Structure 1
Amino acid sequence: MTTAEGIVGEFMSLKRETAADLLTMQCGDFYEFFGEDAETVADELDLKVSQKSAHGSSYPMAGVPVDDLRPYLGSLVERGYRVAVADQYETSDGHARRVQRVVSPGTVLDPDDAAARYLAAVVREGDGYGLAFADVTTGQFRAGRVTDAQAATAQLHRFDPVELLPGPEARADDPVVDRVAEGDTTVTLHDTAAFAPGRARHRLTDQFGETALDAVGLTAEPAVAAAGAILAYVETTGVGVTASMTRLGALDAGDRVTLDATTRRNLELVETMQGGSEGTLLATVDHTETAAGSRLLREWLTAPTRDRGEIRRRHDAVEALADAALARDRLRELLSGVADLERLAARATNGSADPRALGAVRTALGLMPELAAAVADTPLADGPVADVLATPDQTAARELYETLDAALVAEPTRPGEGVIARGHDTELDEVVADYQETREWLDGLADRETRRHGLRHVTVDRNKTDGYYIQVGKSAADEVPDHYRQIKTLKNSVRFLTDDLAEREREMLRLEERREQLETELFADLRERVAADAELLQTVGRTLAELDTLASLATHAATADWVRPDLSSDRELDVTAGRHPVVERTTEFVPNDLRMDDDRGFLIVTGPNMSGKSTYMRQCALLVLLAQAGSFVPAESATVPVVDGVYTRVGALDELAQGRSTFMVEMQELSNILHSATRDSLVVLDEVGRGTATYDGISIAWAATEYLHNEVRAKTLFATHYHELTTLGDTLPRVQNVHVAVDDAGEHVTSSAGC
């Protein structure tokens, strides 16, 4: 095989040095792919492939303009590729390139959507696992240890990482990694040395401080190893965002409602069974005005809290906002379109924030006093909403705002194009003043020459070839004074240059170069100033997101006639005239009651096909989740318990691609429920046992009912066509039968549930 030379050879050499799947290399105004990488990219992104000749050989080549690289990188990363980016730099004898960063699914800084993009690491030690999760776009970082594979899988489903780094012991036949790899998560094998506990602990203390690990209870070696490996991986990719990771948080696995992937899918929290977003719970209640608010709402719905104090705090805030319509609308108006400060903080720390980004930071910080004023002298002034607004350091936020406001023009664009405000830097002000004076001299030159020499059709202009010139109509070219030097003849005009104009041009070029240099330096200093306050920006960003999320929930509660749920102190679940939160938006919904307690903890739901059994049970689960997310619920009244997990087995779904039939999927999901659910869980089962022969199915359903009733004692709703199961109400004291009745009188069919 012929060894490539020249640009292609340089590309091949860089490709051998990186572990990335693809390499793109800057060549002037384009980023180019060569060889197999070019063919891969062309297939994935529908790019045209050309041929690059190098020393008698020909190589496939595909490229994109420098300014268009970001969306192409995003598309490749979404497809699971890790892409190394080699930037061009000047040398004494021309140009060279070096890999500056590696972009992977977990290290994309500017994704196209608002959803969190977690990078995860998992380290196995015996039966337990250390887990760490980081979102490089916002600086979120959490780590902790769980006791078994089931708990680890639940946490991975909770965070839904886009990229996973398995530790050395979790790379071969590990049930947790294997299960996650079946989905859309990219699994990346990072350097095993990065998982060494001693090295990882040192890296974490350097990043977060000597006391950070003890402060969040991060002492287990597997968790430390996982967290340290993430930091090491982010550092090796060169994205430069570790400075935005300012706070290490505990995993808080015990403070969240357990929702496995099956339950999220069955309840259609953020994605429908068909894979879309329309018709989900999130789409129904999402009235947020900001990307960060939408992301936080998604987090609350997919990981509801079990902290009663936090639930009540959210309910208090939603109630206050729902009752204060004018103040709520003013807050939402102010929040409309506010930039995502958490992500802008990450961009500032890695040096990619441009003047528009800092302008957006200024705008967001400037809103804090306006938001406070919108709350003052309203019913919101003394309560949870005011407490949310008071979270950030107001003085520090104001100081940073004033710094940005004094330094930036009203609408900053790019360094060198007038982004730094007058009065910020004396030397720049002098350069700008001289520049404007020279500009005015040039702008008035044509009129002065016309008056002075009586010339006609005189213009002064500039282009890359001739620089500045005086252009005179051809009919008057013989009348120009002697000090005019002719430089070009056109069809209808002649171009001239004078010594004064040449001198002014040199001065203009010098001033333009100096202005661009000064603005670039001053802007870089300003960006570093913002990066130093990354933690402040994250706090302000989280505050704005929380305010937006609470206002969104309040807006839906007020417009959809939802009520505040009461939290039960004795595990009671009592709903009067409850409705399905999504179905009620598109259908004339018949409200249904639901009552469950310690004496009535297992409901067997029967009724005809298409009568609404599944809807009734999903409605129950969604009301509980909404309540623990901090939302009001669709009902006349509701008292709900605080559950530790919601588990569902609803519908049939073949997973033949993974070698699992309908019956196998059903049995695996049922097994997970029987092993995971506790006395404080809510279980929803729909037609268990129908994936096999009738008598086998009855036996499975019967045994599952007895085990859940006698051993687990979780609140359970069980829909079935096996009417034999209704006899269990005679022998199991907590089992009650509920029937969904259908009324087909008139033009419409309606259904309702009752005992």
Structure 2
Amino acid sequence: MSSSKLSSSSYSSVYRSTPTSDNSTRLSAYGSRKYCRRTSSRASERSKSSFSSLPTRRPKTSASACIGGRDNHSFVVAMIEGRGVATEVGMCFIDLRTSECILSQIADSQTYVKTLHKLNLYNPVEIILSVTAIEPSKSKLCKILEDNMPMASIIPIGRKYFNDAIAATGAILKYIESTQNIFFTNHSIKFKYQGCEGTMMIDCVTARNLELISNINNPRSNHSLYGILNNTRTPMGARLLRTNTLQPLSDVTTINMRLDAVEELIRHEETFFAIQTALKPFQDIDHLITALIQVPKKPSVKHAEQSINNVIILKHTLKLINLLKESFTGVQNSLLDAIYSLLNDLRLEALEERINDVINEDITYVKSPLALRNQRCYAVRAGFNGLLDVARQTYKETVDDLNEMIDQYREQYQIPIKTQFSSTAGFYLSINIEQLEDKQLPLIFINVKKKRKTLTFTTLEVMKKNTKISDSLTEVYLMSDKTIEDLISEIRNDISVLYKASESIAMLDMLTSFAHQCTVSNYVRPEFTDTLAIKAGRNPMRESLYVDTFVPNDTYASSATNFQLITGPNMSGKSTYLRQIALMSIMSQIGSYVPAEYASFRIVDQLFTRICNDDNIESNASTFVVEMRETAYILQNVTDDSLVIIDELGRGTSTHDGLGITYAICEELLKTKAFIFFATHFHELTRSLTVYPNVVNLHLEVEIEEEDSRVAMKYLYRVKDGRNDEEHYGLKFGQIIGLPENVIRKATELKELIDSNKEKSTSNKIIQRRKTLLQLTQHLLQIRRSSNLDKEELRKYLKMVQEEFITKMEALF
């Protein structure tokens, strides 16, 4: 990165990023797309073609790499910026696989923080902008999109398509119609308005640092928070869980409704297992709805064939919904009851009856290619179309003739030929090589191929029969098409009930997944107060890795102790402890139980992390730049209700500069009421920041054993109060790994010289007394607000608090 960009105070210097890699390859969900730049001499051609093709991609950066891939989504987004003085952005997302349309209108800052948060949540493959945002010069929004969404293709289209009342929606629908050659039928798309209110904001870097969706070291691994919690049985439930993991709720009432539902499922095991079993056979209902409402511009045999498939799958889905309803026995929870009511909609029964009027009752969804083809052929009931019945009879007779012919081959050549079928080749023949018994295949058999111990082949007559079968099937599909299309048109009239059913099943699946996690792990229901209090908390991701028992730790933070400094040697567990707090906060706000004996959380509106995941030689050159960018982002956007996790600062520059900058950043964060957990190796901070009464020192406990000039270090992974007395773990490490004695001796002498020059503060005890008084005040206020103790128990508890306070104060005189 050039020095001009580093010194700039523009948009690029304040938004979060990590070092750029050389990999500029970009994948599109629609295949490769070549872009050519239009020069100013060709500007007049814009009036002839509304869709431009400009190269707006940038090299991939590790910070903005895809969080979780695009296996389940294929979002396209259109964006339009308001023309007023304030920064206002309108967005319309459409998932081409599920036909879900999400509208957002965001009043944003100059750095487009909320806009980028929304884009990272849905991870679009293409971003549609007005051509005026790119030519003749790129707008600020376009440049920020290039820097932070390198995996997305930015597509400019004519400004006239953004002139509708809901500008971005009109533009994206026009773009899809022009590029995908499909259009949506009237009243068929599910529109949802979604702002940033009522949710926790998690930026892309935080999602990556915490490994919310994918593992940093191995993106294909399931070892992420999403992977740990994902016990869903349906694709809809998995998508909903992913969205909630990246955007947890911040409304306590809604969270508690989910927790109540999970608790009900845990208590009633029979209902839980019945629901889990009933969910497993469901296909992707959202994809099915998309197939039903999208209409190609040019009808084809393939579309007619697919339409029959869709109706069969819908028939199968409606049957599964009936089975799922039967599993709701004895349910009393309000959320589960609401889900049951949506699944018990009379319109679903009417749809099933109408489908059964047209489709044979014994037709069901199958996965075998041959069985599926037969199901499609005989889907429509006899009597709807006389020519259709004739075409089906032709198909049946041809298949029978083919089977008779193959039987004749077996008798004539005395070899055990097997009949095989594939959706591409049709019917063909095969035989095990050992069954030939050193014989040669007769010359009538052609296209012989060897697959391990099997020979596959065919004959000219079999190929002719395949052609005749294919022609008769084409006639069947075309003659069935009118009946099927009329049926689908009726289904579209009540498409909203299918959307609601899909959402209900997705929510039920996610709640069941949370309940399942509680059955395999020791999780507890979280509470929501104005303090963060966790007893014996465990990191959900690390716990799943360890065969031995994971070492739990307590956490406590309130308005009087909102800034916590954590020290300890490398590998002592600081990063694991910090991630544990963030992950448990996210789990609690999506409605999941958490790994602890007791847990109380304050609702978090924004989660920020600065965690160093790039401890390697290749990224050392840019470590400090990354640290400062990410820290600047935190300082500009932190609020009193935020949770900030910082794992080391100032490592990439000189010690004095790093310490000075880190101290200044800590002072700035101390001006807020956010809960801040700050791990550092700068032990000077544990002394200098004690002037602030809300700063708490913690350390990770380590045992050092010295015997016969040998040093051993034992990590206990326990968080203890106070700062660490042993600051020079580096010397101990040097002894353990076998540095020469003269080197260790010289380093020890220099360490003692530096320590002797440090001045001890005479005001330290006064500061500690003030902190103790403030903590007592906050403790008493909390007891007054939330205590449920009776008078006698309250009196005993207050007496215990008094004795602890007196003991602490006496030690400070």
* Counterpart in the other structure of 2:257: 313
Q: Residues 80, 391 of structure 1: CA spacing in aligned structure 2 closer, same or farther, 3 A cutoff?
A: farther
Cα offset for 1:729? 4.4
Secondary structure, counterpart of 1:690 in structure 2: coil
* Counterpart in the other structure of 2:94: 134
Is the CA contact (8 Å cut-off) linking 1:416 and 1:516 kept in structure 2?
Answer: no
* Counterpart in the other structure of 1:742: 702
Q: Which residues of 2 match residues 492-503 of structure 1 at below 5 A?
A: none
Aligned counterpart for 2:184 among listed residues 210, 228, 242: 242
* Counterpart in the other structure of 1:4: none
Cα offset for 1:638? 0.4
Q: Which residues of 2 match residues 258-273 of structure 1 at below 5 A?
A: 258-273=201-216
CA distances 1:110-166 after superposition (whole Å, capped 9, x unpaired): x99752222112223343322222212222222212322122222222222121112
Q: Residues 445, 133 of structure 1: CA spacing in aligned structure 2 closer, same or farther, 3 A cutoff?
A: closer
Is the CA contact (8 Å cut-off) linking 2:29 and 2:74 kept in structure 1?
Answer: no
* Counterpart in the other structure of 1:274: 217
Is the CA contact (8 Å cut-off) linking 1:240 and 1:349 kept in structure 2?
Answer: no
Q: Residues 723, 369 of structure 1: CA spacing in aligned structure 2 closer, same or farther, 3 A cutoff?
A: same
Aligned counterpart for 1:163 among listed residues 111, 126, 141: 126
CA distances 1:336-358 after superposition (whole Å, capped 9, x unpaired): 13111111111111245443332
Q: Which residues of 2 match residues 534-613 of structure 1 at below 5 A?
A: 534-568=495-529, 571-587=530-546, 588-613=549-574
Q: Residues 390, 693 of structure 1: CA spacing in aligned structure 2 closer, same or farther, 3 A cutoff?
A: same
Q: Residues 651, 381 of structure 1: CA spacing in aligned structure 2 closer, same or farther, 3 A cutoff?
A: same
CA distances 1:419-471 after superposition (whole Å, capped 9, x unpaired): 3243572646864797699889989999xxxxxxxxxxxxxxxxxxxxxxxxx
Aligned counterpart for 1:294 among listed residues 238, 241, 247: 238
Is the CA contact (8 Å cut-off) linking 1:593 and 1:754 kept in structure 2?
Answer: no
Secondary structure, counterpart of 1:255 in structure 2: coil
Cα offset for 1:79? 6.0
Q: Which residues of 2 match residues 244-393 of structure 1 at below 5 A?
A: 246-276=189-219, 277-351=221-295, 352=303, 353-376=306-329, 378=330, 380-392=331-343
Residue identity matched to 1:250: Y
Q: What's the C-alpha RMSD, in Å, of the aligned pairs?
A: 3.7
* Counterpart in the other structure of 2:153: 187
Aligned counterpart for 1:636 among listed residues 586, 597, 602: 597
Give 5+ residue unaligned stretches, structure 2: 1-23, 36-52, 54-67, 296-302, 366-371, 406-442, 445-467, 706-711, 722-813
Supply the distance in 2 between the matched residues of 1:544 and 1:301 (Cα, whole angstroms): 18
Q: Residues 132, 515 of structure 1: CA spacing in aligned structure 2 closer, same or farther, 3 A cutoff?
A: closer
* Counterpart in the other structure of 2:410: none
Is the CA contact (8 Å cut-off) linking 1:356 and 1:411 kept in structure 2?
Answer: no
Aligned counterpart for 1:118 among listed residues 65, 75, 83: 75
Cα offset for 1:654? 9.2
Q: Residues 751, 538 of structure 1: CA spacing in aligned structure 2 closer, same or farther, 3 A cutoff?
A: same
Q: Residues 241, 114 of structure 1: CA spacing in aligned structure 2 closer, same or farther, 3 A cutoff?
A: farther
Aligned counterpart for 1:420 among listed residues 369, 379, 383: 379
2:166 is the alignment partner of 1:227: no
Is the CA contact (8 Å cut-off) linking 1:119 and 1:162 kept in structure 2?
Answer: yes
TM-score normalised per structure 1: 0.69
Residue identity matched to 1:178: K
Q: Residues 254, 517 of structure 1: CA spacing in aligned structure 2 closer, same or farther, 3 A cutoff?
A: closer
Is the CA contact (8 Å cut-off) linking 1:428 and 1:518 kept in structure 2?
Answer: yes
Supply the distance in 2 between the matched residues of 1:292 and 1:600 (Cα, whole angstroms): 41
Residue identity matched to 1:164: I
TM-score normalised per structure 2: 0.64
Q: Residues 437, 114 of structure 1: CA spacing in aligned structure 2 closer, same or farther, 3 A cutoff?
A: closer
Q: Residues 720, 520 of structure 1: CA spacing in aligned structure 2 closer, same or farther, 3 A cutoff?
A: same
Mean CA deviation greater in 225-234 or 312-321:
225-234
Cα offset for 1:189? 2.5
Residue identity matched to 2:129: P
2:116 is the alignment partner of 1:153: yes
Supply the distance in 1 between the matched residues of 2:205 and 2:230 (Cα, whole angstroms): 22
* Counterpart in the other structure of 2:684: 724
Residue identity matched to 2:168: A
Secondary structure, counterpart of 2:687 in structure 1: helix
Secondary structure, counterpart of 2:29 in structure 1: helix
Supply the distance in 2 between the matched residues of 1:685 and 1:180 (Cα, whole angstroms): 26
Cα offset for 1:310? 1.3
Q: Which residues of 2 match residues 99-118 of structure 1 at below 5 A?
A: 114-118=71-75
Supply the distance in 1 between the matched residues of 2:402 and 2:522 (Cα, whole angstroms): 65
Mean CA deviation greater in 669-678 or 302-311:
302-311
CA distances 1:43-64 after superposition (whole Å, capped 9, x unpaired): x99xxxxxxxxxxxxxxxxxxx
Q: Residues 194, 324 of structure 1: CA spacing in aligned structure 2 closer, same or farther, 3 A cutoff?
A: farther
Aligned counterpart for 2:33 among listed residues 75, 81, 86: 81
Mean CA deviation greater in 658-667 or 343-352:
658-667
Is the CA contact (8 Å cut-off) linking 1:123 and 1:225 kept in structure 2?
Answer: yes
Q: Residues 438, 292 of structure 1: CA spacing in aligned structure 2 closer, same or farther, 3 A cutoff?
A: closer
Q: Residues 637, 737 of structure 1: CA spacing in aligned structure 2 closer, same or farther, 3 A cutoff?
A: same
- Identity of aligned pairs, percent? 26
* Counterpart in the other structure of 2:586: 625
Secondary structure, counterpart of 2:98 in structure 1: coil
Cα offset for 1:515? 4.4
Residue identity matched to 1:689: G
2:130 is the alignment partner of 1:178: no
Cα offset for 1:520? 2.7
Secondary structure, counterpart of 1:305 in structure 2: coil
Q: Residues 245, 514 of structure 1: CA spacing in aligned structure 2 closer, same or farther, 3 A cutoff?
A: closer
Supply the distance in 2 between the matched residues of 1:323 and 1:317 (Cα, whole angstroms): 10
Secondary structure, counterpart of 2:97 in structure 1: coil
Secondary structure, counterpart of 1:332 in structure 2: helix
Cα offset for 1:175? 4.9
Supply the distance in 1 between the matched residues of 2:469 and 2:564 (Cα, whole angstroms): 84
Aligned counterpart for 1:672 among listed residues 622, 633, 655: 633
Is the CA contact (8 Å cut-off) linking 1:136 and 1:245 kept in structure 2?
Answer: no
Is the CA contact (8 Å cut-off) linking 2:125 and 2:151 kept in structure 1?
Answer: yes
Cα offset for 1:518? 2.2
Aligned counterpart for 2:611 among listed residues 650, 653, 657: 650
Secondary structure, counterpart of 2:156 in structure 1: coil
Is the CA contact (8 Å cut-off) linking 2:256 and 2:591 kept in structure 1?
Answer: yes
Secondary structure, counterpart of 1:233 in structure 2: helix
Supply the distance in 2 between the matched residues of 1:189 and 1:713 (Cα, whole angstroms): 42
* Counterpart in the other structure of 2:427: none
2:100 is the alignment partner of 1:143: no
Is the CA contact (8 Å cut-off) linking 1:366 and 1:398 kept in structure 2?
Answer: no
Supply the distance in 1 between the matched residues of 2:470 and 2:152 (Cα, whole angstroms): 50
Secondary structure, counterpart of 1:611 in structure 2: coil
